[in-house]
Chain A
């Protein structure tokens, strides 16, 4: 509760601190300065809407796992107490904005994690800048977070539209899919994806024959799908930038029209493993897409995924693993800095290189606060190849960290 009494108490406390500091003569040293004697991690995401499965409450669980691991690794850390607070932004930027401000102000959150939905993410990034508190975004795709709207206290983790487009667009083109037909939902995410994809395909030496915007949301994609085989030259691949329910509809209709038999492949811009799970692997058989992380990639991932499943009864998406890693790397940075004071932690995070369950060849770029790591080109398995539940992906190739994300110079970020 905010009150003037509370404020004057804070002022008094500050004054007292200064006085005692002077009394002891000289600076008190940088070590062991944790505000309120605890570190508070805030998680804001969609816990009731379309993104609830791919991130939602289970991301909060993943952050709790990070805390447990951190405590195990540093039993005598200066951070005695770590707390998690979370809120559901219902994909409304207004709500995300007030919730973020409230978590920073009243719940003493030192950092806010996740925040899917680009508009909500940008709103939270702005709050972080004003309050000079950290925000590590995991759930949103917009490159603006580490581009035009970048700021000193905001980091972008896991993925973005460039990574998705480069992975699928360039790699597939280099593998021989020269002609592309792109359909994208007509709003900011789709428009960005269309632009990034076209650039990626052209960079790979391919050609986008046509790209069509579709209404958003949309149930009927037959107009676009039936047109595809008749285009001249015939496209090798349809690139769809649809997500969520729209993607499900489009893929269903793609299968009904048997376009795969007509020699037109399907590549998906953004797909989460939870999408495959909810629609069934049959619907996506053979579809290519870029994934930031896959639970069954190697033993390390698998072991972590087993722990995650024990807690949540489900396999983790890359967003879950991303939140785990972001929380862990933040806590490690606090440990290294010896304080949770924002500027000191930012300094520790900038330029830091690491490997963990989520990130291989991970690095947090100091120039634009983009966190880069290896990404993967994945193919959805045939149903007959699936050996256990959630075993849906085959990793075709690894896209090295320094290629997977936009080069530093291209991001238009001016860190103020």
Chain B
């Protein structure tokens, strides 16, 4: 099964977008879900350790940005660590050098990620499938080695430590408060992704995913569209990465390492490709699991996360959100 076919199956947008129609018929449910989601987002730091709550938010946005490509355009990016990490380093550097308030630093990181994504995207979108994944991975590894070697700027393996967390003279070093300061930016990012998906632009992306030849025949410049969504996706990943670095108070090589890209893809597949909100749930599970395992006393953490991943892929091919939606639809159809 190709990536595009898998994404199509998971997102349930075949058969003329039955899911969209079903959901559209019940706006009440949609509002309810939104309210539940927002409440959960606001309540998180009360029920768990605030920095972890913010990690979840950041990885959710990163995964959503990957899902824009994977789920909605059928492009598997295995190099989003490059954008996440570039933004993390840029935001940290800007904050350290200029002492700018954190939203400015994060914005600078986001811009850096967007700028970087133009040449990478330009070259990568000429390929599809596994070749696209390999090209993005190759560029991400280039960024990794650059960050590793350029010690005077990035600190090499030691990383960069200590950007301030201040806003208008308010001390946000308490992670509980920083969560609420950073959350609006994450929500804005999620809103942007949602808006992209629901826009005519997003519909064209889905058309390209499902049948690129037909999209081209209809007169859509496929490469430009792909490049467009690639830059948007990279910017969102950058937004998430910048916030992540500021929240942790440092940027390290881990941020640009391929495992970060892998983690993002894993979150998307767990949550459900082409569902956006599935990625949020996936992020919650993966980050919590990693955190939980770190003092649970298991020695083989990789085996645990790996098995869970294999199980989900074997049993719920649509991911968690995709499976839930599919089951609901089935029930509804039976009732009709």
What is the interface of chain A, defined by CB distance below 8 A to chain B?
1-3, 47-48, 52, 85-90, 92-95, 97-99, 101-102, 105-106, 118-119, 122-123, 125-127, 130, 142, 144, 149, 186-189, 191
* Smallest Cβ-Cβ distance to B296: which chain A residue: A88
From A2, A52, A89, A93, contact of B45 by CB (8 A): A2
- Determine if B252 and A95 form an interchain contact, defined as CB atoms under 8 angstroms apart: no
Q: What is the interface of chain B mostly: helix, strand, loop, or mixed?
A: helix
Q: Contacts of B99 on A, CB cut-off 8 Å? A: none
Are B46 and A126 closer than 8 Å at their CB atoms?
no
Find out whether the CB atom of A122 lies under 8 angstroms from the CB atom of B46: no
Interface string of B90-118 (1 = CB under 8 A from A): 00000000000000000000000000000
List 21 A-B residue pairs with CB atoms under 8 Å apart, sorted by A's residue number: A48-B301, A48-B302, A87-B294, A87-B295, A90-B294, A94-B255, A95-B291, A95-B294, A98-B52, A101-B51, A102-B51, A102-B52, A105-B49, A106-B49, A118-B157, A119-B252, A123-B159, A125-B161, A126-B161, A130-B173, A191-B156
Contact of A102 (CB < 8 Å), options: B49, B176, B253, B300: B49
A125–B249 CA distance with the chains assembled, in angstroms: 11
Closest residue of chain B to A103, judged by CB?
B295
How far, in Å, is B245 (CB) from chain A's closest CB? Answer: 9
Question: Do B45 and A149 have beta carbons less than 8 Å apart?
Answer: no
B158 touches A3 (CB 8 A): no
What residues of A have a CB within 8 angstroms of the CB of B291 in the complex? 95, 98
**B128 interface residue per 8 A CB criterion:** no
Residues in A whose Cβ lies below 8 Å from that of B173: 130
Chain B, Cβ-Cβ closest to A213: B149
Select which of A1, A105, A122 is within 8 A of B159 by beta carbon.
A122
The answer to whether A99 and B157 touch across the interface, beta carbons within 8 angstroms, is no
Taking each of B46, B52, B176, B248, which has the highest tally of chain A beta carbons within 10 Å of its own beta carbon? Answer: B248
**Contact of A94 (CB < 8 Å), options: B50, B156, B252, B300:** B252
Instruction: Decide yes or no whether B250 CB sits under 8 A from chain A.
Output: yes
Q: Does B5 sit at the interface, judged by CB under 8 A?
A: no
B127 at interface (Cβ–Cβ under 8 A)? no
Q: Does B175 contact A (CB under 8 A)?
A: yes
Task: Name the CB-closest residue of A to B253.
Answer: A119
A125 to B279 alpha-carbon distance, docked (Å): 33
B45 and A90 contacting across the interface, CB-CB below 8 Å: no
Instruction: With A95-B294, A119-B159 as known contacts, state yes or no: A48 contacts B50, CB within 8 Å.
Output: no
Q: Is the CB of A119 within 8 A of B158?
A: yes
Is B55 engaged at the interface, CB distance under 8 Å to the other chain? Answer: yes
Would you call B49 and A130 a contact (CB within 8 A)? Answer: no
B299 located at the interface, meaning its Cβ lies under 8 Å from any Cβ of chain A in the complex: yes
User: What's the nearest-Cβ distance from chain B to residue A44, in Å?
Assistant: 9
For A52, A101, A119, A125, the residue with the greatest tally of chain B CB atoms inside 10 Å of its CB is A119
Note all chain A residues with C-beta closer than 8 A to B14: none
Given contacts A90-B294, A92-B254, A98-B291, 14 further A-B contacts (CB under 8 A): A48-B300, A87-B295, A88-B294, A94-B254, A101-B51, A102-B49, A102-B52, A106-B49, A122-B161, A126-B162, A126-B249, A130-B249, A186-B149, A189-B157
